[in-house]
């Protein structure tokens, strides 16, 4: 038996017990006649004491030689500590060592295995197994396990069946590049790794599975924007014989369950907002509604004077920053510089201070009088003491810029509180999105998404205006899930492919299997997928998903620990019938 207890377990009630512990040496303190060792395992830290009087000189000497991260087993007696440590649960006791066995030695670790480590990100990733010994990383992995357990518990209770789908498949259209795997047995042919199990879960519905879920790895070969991973995990779900409302209710239930079980947060019915409304109010399809600062459109009240910049703008729109009227000239200039940074891209910013005495002071006093500015205040919901920030220009760009400013101001004002959870559904996304470069439309969600009832006709005339039966679940400014009601009719699916620019031959080659299946009684169906990594990070109150992934990739898609990707040798290339031409 390696251990009778863990290193997090012993208390004063265990005093006088003989115990066996095993773990890692966190640190040793040598006082000459006595040596203390902090012994660590997953469960905590227990202090060991080697003492020349009560144990033996020889044992004390052995204790003295223990280095950081040595793996040891000790047998000893639980005794009361003379100076107790109330910061740790085992702080009332220590173990007087009677026997010591070295299970393994360790090189000096490249960084300290402490909550606050001296190791930088790269070093910690290279030695991720040491990083995982640290509390913050360990706790995150345990937290993730708890979340996935709750997901399985909830969905199983609701009658969902977990089905695994294959990883070696063919292209799935989630809008990213595929990772491909050469087939040795089928010369010159390749599998693609799933960008999601989309087509398989739809086929499971045709197969009558009715309620499916899977906690599943997905692979997307994208340029890694901030906080993305080329392989990530989804809670992937699909249901048959459902309408949009059924899906929203089912997965609102799951989300509510997680918030309650994991965070102890009770939520009422999640608000629902259309895509158009979200864009108009927040300039963003994943609005953070933990705070207000809703957009106020000013076109009608700001485009009647001689201010050319506004008069020629497609959109004039502002937000009221709480308490911002007290900003100094310098602070406001800094804010103007902030919106002009290339990352935000605004040309400039007009501001209005809503003074305590009820008057207004603006950067455009030359053009607008107090009555005009009072109307702006009304439109943006500004109160005395606030600062109205106004941007103008092309509608889409201006919305994006003001949304960035809104988030920045909320951050500065401490309004993005980690312990507040504000979920909402965004509905009625556009079906298609125009690719500016190619001038072609592509599916905003994916090509299996059904248009809103009665909108098929619009596809021919104004494709950009067609709305989809597609929805996202947003939590604190992050999209945590997205899905749609699917097309389940072969003809409609063919029409959709045609609008997306597929020739009938291409559609057949890529998705013939799905169209075939639709000829055999495909039930109406729909689903959703949650990004598990992000969901866990948000529930855990942290920013980066990497912190919740045991072995993440870096920003260039590399695993620096195992050093992948890596070249393969010529024999392997030959076997795969591959020739490199670099």
Question: Which residues here bind ligand ASP, judged by CB under 6 A?
Answer: 174, 196, 198, 482-484, 527-529
What residues contact residue 408 under an 8 Å CB cut-off, 6+ apart?
A: 338
CB of 362 or CB of 493, closer to ligand ASP: 493
Closest of 322, 325, 348 to residue 335, by C-alpha: 348
Shortest spacing between CB 235 and ligand ASP, in angstroms: 10
CA 138, 144, 150, 156 torsion: positive or negative?
A: negative
The tokens for 502 are 């597929």
For the chain, give me the number of helices (H) and strands (E)?
Answer: 17, 22
CB of 221 or CB of 408, closer to ligand ASP: 221
Confirm whether residue 229 is marked as ligand binding: yes
Shortest spacing between CB 284 and ligand ASP, in angstroms: 18
- Residue 461 sits at φ, ψ, to 5 deg, of -95, -50
CB of 92 or CB of 483, closer to ligand ASP: 483
Shortest spacing between CB 450 and ligand ASP, in angstroms: 11
Shortest spacing between CB 397 and ligand ASP, in angstroms: 26
DSSP string, 124-193: HHHTHHHHTTSHHHHHHHHHHHHHHHHHHHHHHHTT-EE----SSB----SSSBPPEEE-SSSTT-EEE-
The tokens for 469 are 């039966």
Confirm whether residue 534 is marked as ligand binding: yes
Q: Are the CB atoms for 237 and 213 separated by under 8 Å? A: yes
Confirm whether residue 533 is marked as ligand binding: yes
Shortest spacing between CB 526 and ligand ASP, in angstroms: 8
Confirm whether residue 486 is marked as ligand binding: yes
Q: What are the percentages of helix, strand and coil residues in the chain, rounded to 5? A: 30, 25, 45
Q: Are the CB atoms for 494 and 507 separated by under 8 Å? A: yes
CB of 315 or CB of 468, closer to ligand ASP: 468
Confirm whether residue 174 is marked as ligand binding: yes
CB of 400 or CB of 483, closer to ligand ASP: 483
Confirm whether residue 12 is marked as ligand binding: no
CB of 176 or CB of 180, closer to ligand ASP: 176
Shortest spacing between CB 433 and ligand ASP, in angstroms: 14
Rounded-to-integer distance, Cα 199 and Cα 448, Å: 9
Q: Are the CB atoms for 94 and 48 separated by under 8 Å? A: yes
The 10 Å Cβ neighbour count of residue 18 is: 11
Shortest spacing between CB 487 and ligand ASP, in angstroms: 12
The 10 Å Cβ neighbour count of residue 435 is: 11
Confirm whether residue 488 is marked as ligand binding: no
Closest of 279, 282, 296, 289 to residue 386, by C-alpha: 296
CB of 72 or CB of 432, closer to ligand ASP: 432
Shortest spacing between CB 21 and ligand ASP, in angstroms: 46
CB of 140 or CB of 202, closer to ligand ASP: 202
Binding residues for L-aspartate, by number, are 174, 220, 445, 486
Binding residues, by number, are 174, 220-222, 229, 445, 479, 486, 531-534
Binding residues for ATP, by number, are 220-222, 229, 479, 531-534
């Amino acid at each position: 038996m390696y251990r009778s207890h863990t290193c997090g377990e012993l208390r004063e009630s265990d005093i006088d017990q003989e115990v066996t512990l095993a773990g890692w040496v966190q640190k040793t303190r040598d006082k000459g006649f006595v040596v203390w060792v902090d012994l660590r395992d997953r469960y905590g830290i227990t202090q060991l004491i080697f003492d020349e009087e009560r144990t033996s000189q020889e044992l004390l000497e052995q204790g003295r030689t223990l280095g950081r991260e040595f793996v040891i087993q000790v047998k000893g007696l639980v005794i009361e500590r003379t100076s107790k440590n109330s910061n740790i649960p085992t702080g009332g006791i220590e173990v007087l060592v009677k026997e010591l066995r070295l299970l393994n030695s360790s090189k000096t670790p490249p960084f300290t295995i402490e909550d606050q480590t001296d190791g930088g990100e790269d070093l910690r990733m290279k030695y991720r197994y040491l990083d995982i010994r640290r509390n913050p990383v360990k706790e995150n992995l345990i937290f993730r396990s708890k979340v996935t357990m709750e997901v399985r518990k909830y969905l199983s209770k609701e009658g969902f069946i977990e089905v695994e789908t294959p990883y070696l498949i063919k292209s799935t259209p989630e809008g990213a590049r595929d990772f491909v795997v050469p087939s040795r047995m089928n010369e010159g042919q390749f599998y693609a790794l799933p960008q999601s199990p989309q087509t398989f879960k739809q086929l499971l519905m045709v197969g009558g599975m009715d309620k499916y879920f899977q906690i599943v790895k997905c692979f997307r070969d994208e340029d890694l924007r901030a906080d993305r991973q080329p392989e990530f995990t989804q809670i992937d779900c699909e249901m048959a014989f459902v309408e949009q409302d059924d899906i929203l209710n089912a997965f609102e239930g799951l989300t509510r369950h997680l918030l309650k079980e994991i965070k102890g947060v009770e939520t009422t019915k999640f608000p629902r907002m259309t895509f158009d409304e979200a864009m108009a109010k927040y300039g963003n399809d994943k609005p953070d509604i933990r705070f207000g600062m809703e957009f106020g459109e000013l076109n009608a009240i700001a485009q009647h004077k001689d201010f050319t910049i506004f008069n020629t703008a497609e959109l004039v729109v502002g937000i009221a920053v709480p308490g911002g009227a007290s900003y100094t000239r310098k602070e406001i200039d800094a804010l103007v510089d902030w919106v002009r940074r290339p990352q935000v891209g605004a040309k400039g910013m007009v501001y209005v201070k809503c003074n305590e005495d009820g008057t207004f002071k603006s950067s455009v006093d030359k053009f607008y009088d107090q009555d005009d500015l009072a109307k702006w205040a009304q439109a943006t919901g500004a109160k005395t003491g606030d600062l109205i920030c106004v941007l103008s220009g092309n509608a889409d760009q201006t919305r994006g810029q003001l949304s960035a400013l809104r988030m920045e101001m909320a951050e500065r004002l401490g309004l993005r509180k980690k312990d507040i959870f504000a979920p909402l559904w965004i509905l009625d996304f556009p079906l298609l999105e125009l690719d500016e470069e190619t001038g072609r439309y592509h599916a905003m969600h994916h090509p299996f998404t059904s248009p809103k009832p009665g909108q098929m006709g619009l596809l021919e005339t104004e494709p950009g205006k067609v709305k989809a039966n597609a929805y996202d679940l947003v939590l604190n400014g992050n999209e945590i899930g997205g899905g749609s009601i699917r097309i389940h009719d072969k003809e409609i699916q063919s029409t959709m492919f045609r609008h997306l620019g597929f020739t009938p031959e291409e559609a057949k080659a890529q998705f013939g299997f799905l169209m075939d299946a639709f000829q055999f009684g495909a039930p109406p169906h729909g689903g959703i997928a949650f990004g598990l990594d992000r969901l866990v990070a948000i529930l855990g109150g942290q920013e980066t998903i990497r912190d919740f992934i045991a072995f993440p990739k870096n920003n260039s898609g590399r695993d620096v620990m195992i050093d992948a990707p890596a070249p393969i040798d010529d024999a392997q290339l030959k076997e795969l019938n591959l020739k490199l031409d670099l």
